[in-house]
Amino acid sequence: MRCCYNKVFGKYDLNVELKEGGIEVSITGKGKKKSYYRKAGEEEVEKIIYAEEGNVVICPVEPVNLPNEGTSQHLLIELEKPIIIEPGIEDVFYVKFPIEVGVFLIDKKDVERIDIFTITKPKYILYGPPESGIICKWWRSDAFGETPEVKRLYEGVMKVEAKNNYSEWVEIKKMVFRALDMKLFYNEHAFMHSYLEIMKKTMGETSFNERKPKNMKRAIDIYLAKGIKRLEKKFVMEWGFK
Amino acid sequence: MNIGAAIKDVIDYQIKVLGGRTVGDVIFFFVILFVAVIIAKIVRINIRRTLKEKVPKTTLNAVEKIFYYGIITVGFLAALPYIGVEPTGLMVAGGIAGIVIGFASQTVVSNLISGIFLLIEKPIKIGDGVSLGDVSGVVKDIRILSTTIRTWDGIYVRIPNEKVFTSNIQNFVAHAARRFEYKIGIAYKDDADKAIEIIKNLLEEHPLILKEPAPQIFVEELGESSVNLAIRIWAPSSHWFSVKTEMLWKIKVALEKEGIEIPFPQRVIWMADKKKAKI
């Protein structure tokens, strides 16, 4: 029996139609052969799926896959207004990050990604010098004192716990996070809880809290689904915060 | 007769064909060979473990074989006197042969050493877009003696490592980002600031044109027929060519859409004599 929902994120049977905020996802068909259709903005994708059992999970994924997978594995969030942190101070603020939505087929044995899409306008940036820097997905956000309102298919909320371990004031304009370290959760919106540890005037470490917040679901980790191991769980920002 | 004495007799038994060497000597010959094989195997396993993640499979196989057979050869030479063969004679013959082979194989050795240096220095990696001397393309394999390139037009090229090592290497993807440039002329009657703004907005829309380093657009030259704009764009090294091929036409279309003319070369000629010719 086909089910219709007006929320995209969630776990569904292999016969479903979803519509929310300009996004349409459907899996239709009888027997093993199903048709997958997705529309996000102007972009439309159709695929044929052969599956008998299992479910489809639609959830936010690490926002570095589009428009070109492999171009970047880092997300750089540029703050509209820089934050200046006193030595020894620990502060919590919230920023927004772009949403990419992953569609996965899951059964008892395996997780298979069938689509990733976004309605955000992606842009890349170079963090560091051209000869040794890294290409990052770029996003600009205000820093908020409390959880901000977001359009859930457009932006998610990242809680940042920043601690200045350096002996001087430090100004933060940019934060870089590695997709391999990210831990994404979702309910009404996507959520990540990150840490920023300032070690020097131009050096810091970013990492993520792995603990699942209450009333939230854990998003499917693309890198775990691909079988990529996580060796280091921190990213060193060695080219500063500006 | 006790067993010990019988064994001693067998061990001390001299074999005439081997110049009076005893059975014990022959056994010792095989023991040395056996130990050499065991050592060679241990060394091979350790080389494989150490270099498995660091060098390509083909190179690893070659290095393994060099060490494996090298150790067995040394063991064999060390064991030869026990079967009545003096390696001194072999050494002399081997020395002469070595000189001959050395002359004949100096290019091979040179390629081998260059290959080892290439693996250590790593100026290129498999999958990189490179230019090696007069050959440009994608590196498909770096072997111990040669490097193979698939040129941009799909041709297989094998370059000896010595040539690779001594040529000017340009690696197009060694750095994360690279810059390319366009030069576009607009008519003198058009507003250059407006043209710059149009191009800037167009570049901002493209995801692969980097936010930072930001594109640079400026009037570079007041040319003979046009005001020449320079447009410098940074893109990820992995995608710069697709961006370059895509954007030039888009810039032309965007400028023309806003009424900015890209003029043909032109020259205004003033006639000194205004008399009209009678036809």
pLDDT at B209 over 90: yes
Chain mean pLDDT for chain B = 85
Nearest alpha-carbon partner for A156 in A65, A60, A81, A23: A60
Return all residues near B99 (Cβ < 8 A) that are at least 6 apart.
Answer: none
The predicted pLDDT at position B255 comes to: 92
Percentage with pLDDT > 90 across chain B: 32
Nearest to B177 among A68, A122, A135 (CB): A135
Contact by Cβ (8 Å): A112, A208: no
Please indicate if any CB of chain A lies within 8 Å of the CB of B123.
no
B24, pLDDT greater than 80: yes
DSSP per residue, A74-118: EEEEEEEEEEEE-TT-EEEEEEEEE-EEEEEEE-SS-EEEEEEE-
Put simply, whether A241 touches B (Cβ < 8 Å) is no
3-state secondary structure of B42: helix
Query: What is the residue type of B23?
Result: V
Spatial distance between the Cα atoms of A192 and A214, rounded to a whole number of angstroms: 13
| Residue in chain B nearest A120 by alpha carbon | B207
Chain B, window 128-187: residues with a beta carbon less than 8 angstroms from a chain A beta carbon: 175-179
The beta-carbon neighbor of A125 closest among B175, B210, B238 is: B210
Q: Kindly determine whether residue A133 and residue B177, on different chains, have CB atoms separated by under 8 Å.
A: yes
What was the ipTM of the complex prediction?
A: 0.83
Put simply, the answer to whether A130 touches B177 (Cβ < 8 Å) is: yes
- DSSP 8-state secondary structure symbol assigned to residue B16: G
Q: Does A131 touch chain B (CB under 8 A)?
A: yes
Task: Count CB neighbours of A179 within 10 A.
Answer: 21
Query: Alpha carbon of A22 to those of A38, A62, A101, B181: distances in Å?
Result: 11, 21, 13, 38
- Residue B268: the pLDDT is 74
Partners of A68 on chain B (C-beta within 8 Å) are 207-208, 239
Q: What pLDDT is stored for residue A226 in this prediction?
A: 63
What pLDDT is stored for residue B85 in this prediction?
A: 78
Which residue of chain A comes nearest to B206, CA vs CA?
A123
- A68 interfacial to chain B (CB closer than 8 Å): yes
Band of pLDDT at residue A193, cut at 50, 70 and 90: very high
Instruction: Look at residue B231 and tell me whether its pLDDT is greater than 60.
Output: yes
Q: What is the pLDDT of residues B29-51, one digit of tens each?
A: 899 999 999 999 999 888 888 87
Nearest CA in chain B to A122: B207
**Percent above pLDDT 70 for chain B:** 95
Chain A residues in contact with B179 by the CB 8 A cut-off are: 130
Say how far apart CA A124 and CA A39 lie, in whole Å.
24
Average pLDDT score over residue span B47-65: 76
In angstroms, rounded to a whole number, what is the distance separating the alpha carbons of residues A197 and A211? 19
φ, ψ at B258 (rounded to 5°): -95, 15
Return mean pLDDT, chain A. 86
Eight-state DSSP code of residue B163: H
Q: Mapping DSSP to helix (H, G, I), strand (E, B) and coil, where does residue B159 land?
A: strand
pLDDT reading at B88 higher than 80:
no
Structure confidence by residue, pLDDT tens digits, A128-164: 998 889 999 999 999 999 989 888 888 999 999 999 9
At residue B108's C-alpha, the angle toward residues B102 and B114, to 5°, is: 120
Tell me the mean pLDDT in the region A35-42. 87
| Nearest CA distance, A53 vs chain B (angstrom) | 38
Of B210, B234, B239, the CB nearest to A68: B239
Residue B89: both structure tokens together: 């004679």
Q: What percent of chain A has pLDDT over 90?
A: 31
B176: left (phi over 0), alpha (psi -120 to 50) or beta: alpha
CB–CB contact B176 A122 (8 Å)? no
Report whether pLDDT(B2) > 80: no
Buried b (16+ CB within 10 A) or exposed e, B242-253: ebeeebeeebee
Confidence check: pLDDT of A2 > 60: no
- Tell me which residue in B205, B210, B239 faces A126 most closely, judged by beta carbons: B210
pLDDT at res. B9? 78
In the block, tokens 């919106």 appear at: A189
Interface check for B24 against chain A (CB to CB < 8 A): the answer is: no
Q: Is it the case that residue B201 has pLDDT exceeding 90?
A: yes
- Residue A3 pLDDT class (50, 70, 90 cuts): low
How does pLDDT run across B234-265, given as a tens digit for each residue?
999 888 889 999 999 999 999 999 888 888 87
Give the CA-trace dihedral at B230, B231, B236, B237, to 10 degrees: -30
The 8-class DSSP code of residue B17 comes to: G
Residue A133: its chain B contacts at CB < 8 A? 176-177
The secondary structure of B59-126 as a DSSP string is: HHHHHHHHHHHHHHHHHHHHHGGGGT--HHHHHHHHHHHHHHHHHHTHHHHHHHHHHHHHHHH-S--T
- Note the pLDDT tens digit of each residue in A59-107: 888 888 888 787 888 999 999 999 999 998 898 999 999 988 888 888 8
Query: Is pLDDT of B278 > 60?
Result: no
Element (H, E) at B202: helix B192-205
**A131 with B175: Cβ contact below 8 A:** yes
DSSP-assigned states of every residue in A158-197: EEEEEEE-SSS-EEEEEEEEEGGG---EESSSEEEEEEEE
Residue A224: the pLDDT is 66
Nearest to B183 by CA among B223, B137, B242: B223
Contact (CB<8Å) B211/A123: yes
pLDDT at A65: 84
- Average pLDDT, stretch B226-239? 92
User: How close is the nearest chain A Cα to the Cα of B123, in Å?
Assistant: 13
Of the candidates A124, A128, A131, the beta carbon closest to that of B210 is on A124
Average pLDDT over residues A109-118: 85
Q: In what order do the strands lie in the sheet with B177-186?
A: B177-186, B227-236, B216-222
Which residue does chain A place closest to B171, by CA atoms? A131
- State the pLDDT at residue B12: 77
- Would an 8 Å CB–CB cutoff place A229 in contact with chain B? no
Please tell me the distance in Å from A200's CA to the nearest CA on chain B: 23
Is there a contact between A186 and A60 (Cβ–Cβ < 8 Å)?
yes
pLDDT value, residue A124: 94
Mutation target vs A (from B205, B212, B243; most A CBs, 10 A cutoff): B212
**B139 three-state secondary structure:** strand
Statement: residue A1 has pLDDT above 70 = no
Provide the 8-state DSSP code for A144.
B
Question: How many CB pairs (< 8 A) connect A and B?
Answer: 49
The residue in chain A having the minimum alpha-carbon distance to the alpha carbon of residue B211 is A125
Predicted confidence band at B274 (pLDDT cuts at 50, 70, 90)? low
- Residue of chain B minimizing CA distance to A135: B176
Residues of chain B with C-beta less than 8 angstroms from the C-beta of A124? 207-208, 210-211, 236
pTM beyond 0.90:
no
Confidence tier at A195 by pLDDT (50, 70, 90): very high
Structure tokens at B190: 């058009």
Q: Which residue of B has its CA nearest to A72?
A: B236
Instruction: Show the tokens assigned to A213.
Output: 């917040």
* Residue A225 structure tokens: 């689904």
Amino acid B154: pLDDT: 92
